Amino acid sequence: MSEKKDLLIEVGLEELPHSFIENAMKGFENNFTGQLSNQKIEFGKVTAFSTPRRMTLFIKEVNINQNDYLEEKRGPSIEKAYLPDGSPSKALTGFLKGNNITKDDIATKVSENREYVFLLREIKGKDTFTLLHEILDITLKSLYFPKTMKWENTGFQFARPIRWILYLFGEAIVPFKIADVVSSNYTYGHRSYGNSRIVINNPTEYEKKLAANSVIADRYKRKLQLQKQIEKIIIPKGLEVPEIAKDLYDINNDLTEFPHAVICEFDKYFLELPVEVLTSEMIEHQYYFPLIEGSKGKLSNYFIAVSNICEKSKSVYGYQNVLRARLDDGRFFFNEDKKKGFSEYNEKLKTVTFHEQLGSMHQKIERIMKISEVLAGLVSLNNKEKASVCKTAELCKNDLVTLTVNEFPGLQGIMGYYYARASHYSEDVARGIKEHYYPRFAADILPSCIEGSLVGIADRLDTILGIFSIGLKPKGSKDPFALRRKVFAIVKIIISMKLNYSMRKLIADSAGLYSCQKSSALVMDEVEGFFLDRIKSIFTEMGFLYDEIDACISNVMDDIYEAYRRVLALHEYRSHKDFEDLLISFKRMGNILKEEKKFLFSEDLLIEKEEKALYRHFISVKDRIVENVNIKNYNQVYSILSSFKPYVDNFFDNVLVMDENMELRENRVGLLKIIINIFSDIIDISKIVPG
């Protein structure tokens, strides 16, 4: 058993960007412990500490020596190593000399089916202490940050300047230098309480000594403390932190070494502003927690600021003042924006470029309006709904040129809602404007109204067609316009709104809107292919199996929603064991049909009782199948399909399709063919792969 000591590394920094800290700490821990393992140095429990000003690893029970290990190195092959007389060749003597070894240190081993001379020697583990410089050096140099900087003359790059390094192995300072900073055995306390130099004699006393100097080094303990403080303030008041503010716990935690929650308030008359404006001001600019009255309640005029010091009374004034100034501005923007009628902003969209080659946002809007109109026709809306959709399309981007959205890009759509209402557009149109951006990310909510759905599809399809028309379609992992996500959104909307229409027709009718080098026929083909490809992977993500998708997707571009329903029905029915067996029987039928080109069918040529029974069953359910296929009741169709099971089994068990009599043979093939054909609109059974 090797002797063990505790190890402590603290990298002291000028404040790290709060958003970097979590990943940086993971990287720091993984890189460092990875290096220890590579060096065959055993270690015990690892604790990572972090504050904005420090990244720390505390590693218990690190062996003071590397483990001894066997060094192995391949030399020349046996044939090349020895001359015919058995004496060593030049290759072998070179290998010995090069590695500073004698014949005693080599052995013969097989590698890649040949015998080689191998260097095999027992290496005594080095002192861990001597390796620690290199380990930290590699760790820091390979640490990833989203953005790095230089600050001194060695040119070393890091997220923020390193100002001290505390590096202890047991009680000894590990010599280390990087970016002109030399390691020591001291750290610093909280900035506001003297920022004093604190000597750490032993790794185990680090956390306590910092705590005594107003620094809670443990990120999790610090967060817990912050959460408890906030609860203590808000619970008696019946207030809650809304869902949209939950990230603020981590953000504030990563901005403080000694967090203290402070309750503050703003003037109630600001509550007249849209709630999103208020919460954006608080959350995005100031990292303040907005508070709501009860879990779904109204926004309160209380909020919580997080201080980095324990004395709170004097800071409240400042926290409130900053917010008041911001809300004043927000109110100014909101009122300025409302001075113009919402439709007047349309003109200003001419000055906003959508894409160099695809023109302004105004031109985009004109295309969105045309696509929306075609789409409204395809899904057979009545005139009133159609008018509402077209109005939504016309207005949907107007808020992009308002002052408020300029200040808060995240409020696009939401401000459109308020401004449309202020200009007396209907609730449907206003909601459509807001919701046409939904879903904004994978797990986001979907539009709840037809206006938002159709305009959302039109907006995305316009971008897809536009980008394809100028030859910038996604390649490999490169999808700068997020077109894949746009198809995903379109499909989600179609399914959630149960929209039946031909995507192919919509694309065909829209492709002419783009004047481009490529022929619109080519663009249409490419975009259809892109959709088809995406739909398959979207369906896969939904949990459907490949063969189910293949079996149901043949005419998906004629109606994406029905294709989805067919896959869904098939997927659900497949969980019945009998149904799976039946599918396999039908697949056998299909295989036979593929080989047999000729067939005919006449009832008179049915001889065996099993084939007669199968036919009779077919006749008895035929009308119901046709009817259910027509009304797209796929579950019913599959239920009827299931009823074929005993007849099909009996048929295959007792009747030989490949009869020597060609007439009977063709007749039997014909029977199978008419049965299969009746289902062919909803499923291509040949694509099914037995599970």
Partner 1 sequence: MNLQEIIFFLNIFWSNKGSIIVQPYDIEKGAGTFNPATFLRALGPEPWNAAYVEPSRRPTDGRYGENPNRLQLYYQYQVLIKPSPVDIQGLYLDSIREMGIDFKEHDVRFVHDDWESPTLGATGLGWEVWLDGMEITQFTYFQQVGGIELEPISVELTYGLERIAMFIQQKDDVFDILWNDRLTYGDIRRREEFEFSTFNFETANIDKHVSLFNEYENEAELLLEKDLVLPAYDMVMKCSHIFNILEARGALSVTERTSYIQRVRNMAKTIAEDYIKAREKLGFPLLAKLNH
**Binding residues vs partner 1 (CB under 8 A):** 14-19, 52, 147, 149-153, 155, 160-161, 163, 191-193, 195, 255-256, 286, 288, 305, 307-309, 311, 314-315, 317-319, 321-325, 328-329, 332, 350-353
| Dihedral, CA of residue 681, residue 682, residue 683 and residue 684, to nearest 10 | 20
Judged by beta carbon, residue 129 or residue 186, the one nearer partner 1 is 186
Judged by beta carbon, residue 191 or residue 223, the one nearer partner 1 is 191
| Dihedral, CA of residue 417, residue 423, residue 424 and residue 430, to nearest 10 | -20
Residue 192 CB, nearest approach to partner 1 (Å): 4
Query: Which residues make Cβ contacts (< 8 Å) with residue 360, sequence separation at least 6?
Result: 349, 350, 351, 352, 353, 354
| Dihedral, CA of residue 465, residue 471, residue 474 and residue 478, to nearest 10 | -140
Q: How far is CA 534 from CA 273, 281, 486, 505, in A?
A: 41, 38, 10, 18
Residue 259 CB, nearest approach to partner 1 (Å): 10
Region of 353 please: left (phi>0), alpha (psi -120 to 50) or beta. beta
Residue 326 CB, nearest approach to partner 1 (Å): 9
Residue 15 CB, nearest approach to partner 1 (Å): 4
Cβ pair 292, 301 in contact under 8 A: no
Q: Which of 616, 615, 634 is nearest to 625 (CA)?
A: 634
Residue 565 CB, nearest approach to partner 1 (Å): 44
Residue 151 CB, nearest approach to partner 1 (Å): 5
Cβ pair 354, 364 in contact under 8 A: yes
Tokens of 374: 């075609």
Q: How would you class 111 by CB atoms within 10 Å of its CB: exposed for 0-12, middle for 13-18, buried for 19 or more?
A: exposed
Residue type for 373, please? E
Residue 262 CB, nearest approach to partner 1 (Å): 9
Instruction: Please identify which residue in the block is written with the tokens 């399909």.
Output: 641
Strands 181-184 and 162-169: parallel
Judged by beta carbon, residue 331 or residue 485, the one nearer partner 1 is 331
Measured in degrees and rounded to the nearest 5, phi and psi for residue 307 equal -100, 155
Judged by beta carbon, residue 326 or residue 492, the one nearer partner 1 is 326
Distance between CA atoms of 10 and 48, rounded to whole angstroms? 10
Residue 208 CB, nearest approach to partner 1 (Å): 22
DSSP SS3 for 311: coil
Distance between CA atoms of 502 and 457, rounded to whole angstroms? 13
DSSP letters of 72-135?
Answer: EEEEEEHHHHB-TTS-B-HHHHHHHHHHT--GGGEEEEEETTEEEEEEEEEEPPPBHHHHHHHH
Judged by beta carbon, residue 328 or residue 444, the one nearer partner 1 is 328
Rounded to a whole number, what is the largest CA-CA distance in the chain? 105
Judged by beta carbon, residue 192 or residue 202, the one nearer partner 1 is 192
Distance between CA atoms of 180 and 169, rounded to whole angstroms? 21
Strand order in the sheet with 114-123: 69-77, 114-123, 106-111
Tokens of 528: 């259809």
Judged by beta carbon, residue 163 or residue 223, the one nearer partner 1 is 163
Judged by beta carbon, residue 56 or residue 252, the one nearer partner 1 is 252
Residue 353 CB, nearest approach to partner 1 (Å): 5
Residue type for 315, please? S
Residue 414 CB, nearest approach to partner 1 (Å): 21
Judged by beta carbon, residue 322 or residue 584, the one nearer partner 1 is 322
Residue 586 CB, nearest approach to partner 1 (Å): 60
Residue 2 CB, nearest approach to partner 1 (Å): 39
Judged by beta carbon, residue 102 or residue 313, the one nearer partner 1 is 313
Judged by beta carbon, residue 115 or residue 328, the one nearer partner 1 is 328
Query: Which residues make Cβ contacts (< 8 Å) with residue 515, sequence separation at least 6?
Result: none
Residue 282 CB, nearest approach to partner 1 (Å): 11
Judged by beta carbon, residue 188 or residue 437, the one nearer partner 1 is 188
Judged by beta carbon, residue 10 or residue 610, the one nearer partner 1 is 10
Judged by beta carbon, residue 151 or residue 652, the one nearer partner 1 is 151
Judged by beta carbon, residue 307 or residue 412, the one nearer partner 1 is 307
* Residues facing residue 172 across a β-bridge: 169
Residue 334 CB, nearest approach to partner 1 (Å): 14
Helix (H) or strand (E) holding 13: strand 4-13
Residue 538 CB, nearest approach to partner 1 (Å): 34
Q: Which of 258, 307, 268, 301 is nearest to 286 (CA)?
A: 307
Region of 236 please: left (phi>0), alpha (psi -120 to 50) or beta. alpha
Residue 144 CB, nearest approach to partner 1 (Å): 16
Which letter, b or e, does each residue of 431-451 get, where b requires 16 or more Cβ atoms within 10 Å of its Cβ?
bbbbbbbbbeeeeeebbebbb
Judged by beta carbon, residue 17 or residue 125, the one nearer partner 1 is 17
